[in-house]
Amino acid sequence: MLSKALELFIGWLKSQRYWATIEPFFIIALAWVGAQLLSFEWIGTRTAFKPSFRLFLDSYLSHWITIGALGLAALILLFRSRPGIPARESASHLRMFWSANRRLILYRTGGTLLILAVVALGFRRYAPSQVSHITVRFMDLDSDITPEGLAYLIYEINRLQRNWYFEIDFAPFNPEEFSSDQATRCQDDSRPKLCQAEILAEGRPFIGITAQSLGGAYFAEHRGAVSVITTAEQSVYAPLTSYEYLAYCLILQAMSIHLDADGSLPQDAFDSARLTHGGFFQFVPYKQAVKSSILAARLTPEEEMLLLNRFGRDYVATCADLLTMNWLYSDRVKGNFEHVFKTKLER
Amino acid sequence: MSFRNRAPYVLWSVAVLGTVGLLAFGEIAGRTSRNKTFSGTATVGDGESRFSISIEPVSFGVNSVANKYKLLEISIENGSTTPLTLSSDQDRFEALVNGQAIPALLSLQRADSTLWNSFSTAARKDLAYPLRVGPATAGRSTVPEYLSIFVFLPADRMSEMPTEFRYTIASLRTTVTLRKPPATRA
């Protein structure tokens, strides 16, 4: 039905006087629609990330297609226009052709370069950023978690990644290794664990895991490229295991570090909110709600949009997959935890 | 050819082989027989931990850290499935020299921050007094956990080689005495 209507519409257009003028632009418009539809289909294949079409139209991919189509249309206009420059057909040799049409050639070459530069700038403007690897260090662990069990959890997260991963530093943390200035600074800091993590990070993206309470947060603290996660509130997230809780926190903190490094972490991320809908960057002062957040972890359309446009399709697709926690509750991973690390994941 | 004619060749061969042999033995002897080993044990939970110090007297006499400290490495072998908790605040380490107990510094971070801060991050990581020695891995046979720790003895009070070491570990509420093994006859 739709194809018939389109056929009729094209037939009608072809009968119009101006068809020859608009034909290439009409083809570009059709190609634009086709490319948008194909990209929309591709973006949701083989992942848990299924954006709405409205969200897709605001994405870097859609912008790239539009910029490409506009650039092509501009080139057609350029090669059709000849502002006051007459074309001379008589020239047979290259030198004679150049001397006869020099102005036109220069005009079109200049115009082409300008269009290509604008298109390149447009592509660059909307291009997703590269994300960095993140070092994880076990600063001190609770008795219900073993370094090897946690390393296994992190390696399973890494298995789902393609563009970045967590690197584990197994060296046991010892505050004695700090210089006296560093030790004093962290003693006086209102967030001592975050301060220690910042020193250990040595300027690189870093997540520290500790069993001790944090200065001013229940579960995690974040500043710049560094985060620290605590398992001190174990009774709050029970009956979930520390592994489930840490899987959730690691994914959340990794996204925060990447967004912060890119300068695009929302201003109100983790601000205390009385009303909540379970968004990833929402913080609820009622700390027992962390269980609900873990069990129903999801990205809101706004968060999907943010991650898609900042880091690309693979990144947001991986985050969406990780957040479902299906990988953690697969028979293989659950079995490994139960038989090798003696921890039962109940869900 | 008579023995008289062969004698110079035989003598030369014996001389050359003997020199090479002596040089080789000299090399081996110079490196193995001088180390003094001190050792002691302590009960940790369900098992035993072994502590040992190996000192080469010449380098111990000559070497020092910033002309202030003698650096001593203590090897710990935790054969217990219970971790061994250490504390630079509460543990004590002493060397017995001329019958006098000389305390070592466990935390240079607090005791000599200027020197400590002058070390690289990697060196501080290696020299820092640890918080614990991990537990032995239990299985068909128990595999002990090994760790080396470093302590600093005041160089100006080390007029002679220590004869004994005393290591007090607060978490165990015990003092381990590290002695040389008794002399044995061959």
- Preferred mutation among B114, B116, B126, B152 to probe A, highest tally of A CBs within 10 A: B116
CATH number at residue B142: 2.60.40
Residues B47 and B15 in one domain: no
- Beta carbons of B88 and A183 less than 8 Å apart: no
**A105 and chain B in contact, CB less than 8 A:** no
Residues B66 and B127 in one domain: yes
Instruction: Answer whether residue B159 shows pLDDT above 90.
Output: no
Convert B67-104 into a string of H (helix), E (strand) and C (coil).
CCEEEEEEEEEECCCCCEECCCCCCEEEEEECCEEEEC
Find the Cα–Cα–Cα–Cα dihedral A274, A275, A277, A278, rounded to 10°. 0
What are B153's strand-pairing partners?
Answer: B70
**A171 and chain B in contact, CB less than 8 A:** yes
- The pLDDT score that the predictor gives to residue A69 is 95
- Beta carbons of B116 and A180 less than 8 Å apart: yes
- Preferred mutation among B121, B126, B127, B145 to probe A, highest tally of A CBs within 10 A: B121
- Preferred mutation among B124, B127, B137 to probe A, highest tally of A CBs within 10 A: B124
Residues B131 and B65 in one domain: yes
- Beta carbons of A179 and B110 less than 8 Å apart: no
Percent of chain B exceeding pLDDT 70 equals 80
Instruction: Answer whether residue B33 shows pLDDT above 70.
Output: no
Give, as one character, the DSSP assignment of residue A127.
P
Residues B5 and B86 in one domain: no
- Beta carbons of A172 and B130 less than 8 Å apart: yes
pLDDT per residue as tens digits for the range B45-97? 888 999 999 999 999 999 999 999 999 999 999 999 999 999 999 999 999 99
Residues B42 and B84 in one domain: yes
B62 in a domain, yes or no?
Answer: yes
What's the whole-model pTM score? 0.75
Question: Beta-strand (E) ranges in A196-318?
Answer: 206-210, 220-223, 226-230
Residue B27 banded pLDDT, cuts 50, 70, 90:
very low
Instruction: Answer whether residue B30 shows pLDDT above 50.
Output: no
Instruction: Answer whether residue B25 shows pLDDT above 70.
Output: no
Residues B24 and B81 in one domain: no
Contacts of B110 in chain A (CB under 8 A): 180
- A185, A207, A178, A201: which is closest to B125 by C-alpha? A178
B81 in a domain, yes or no?
Answer: yes
Residues B1 and B67 in one domain: no
Question: Beta-strand (E) ranges in A181-232?
Answer: 206-210, 220-223, 226-230
Residues B43 and B22 in one domain: no
Residues B136 and B46 in one domain: yes
- Beta carbons of A177 and B121 less than 8 Å apart: yes
Give, as one character, the DSSP assignment of residue A21.
H
- Beta carbons of B117 and A180 less than 8 Å apart: yes
Terminal Cα distance for chain A, rounded: 48
- Beta carbons of B128 and A171 less than 8 Å apart: no
Q: pLDDT per position in chain A (347 positions), as tens? A: 667 887 888 888 888 888 888 888 999 999 999 999 999 988 877 666 778 888 888 889 999 999 999 999 999 999 888 777 666 665 567 777 777 778 888 888 999 999 999 999 999 999 888 888 999 999 988 888 999 999 999 999 999 888 889 999 998 899 999 999 999 999 889 899 999 999 999 999 999 999 998 877 889 999 889 999 999 988 889 899 999 999 999 999 999 999 988 887 777 666 666 666 666 666 666 777 788 888 888 888 888 888 888 898 889 888 888 888 889 999 999 999 999 998 888 76
Contacts of B116 in chain A (CB under 8 A): 179-180
Instruction: Answer whether residue B15 shows pLDDT above 70.
Output: no
Question: Which residue range(s) make up the domain with B129?
Answer: 36-179
B48 in a domain, yes or no?
Answer: yes
B69 in a domain, yes or no?
Answer: yes
**A340 and chain B in contact, CB less than 8 A:** no
B84 in a domain, yes or no?
Answer: yes
Residues B124 and B151 in one domain: yes
Residues B58 and B149 in one domain: yes
CA distance A172 to chain B (A): 9
Helix/strand/coil for A210: strand
B185 in a domain, yes or no?
Answer: no
- The pLDDT score that the predictor gives to residue A205 is 95
Residues B146 and B105 in one domain: yes
B184 in a domain, yes or no?
Answer: no
Nearest chain B residue (CA) to A171: B125
- Beta carbons of A176 and B121 less than 8 Å apart: no
Q: How many domains does chain B have?
A: 2
CA distance A346 to chain B (A): 27
B186 in a domain, yes or no?
Answer: no
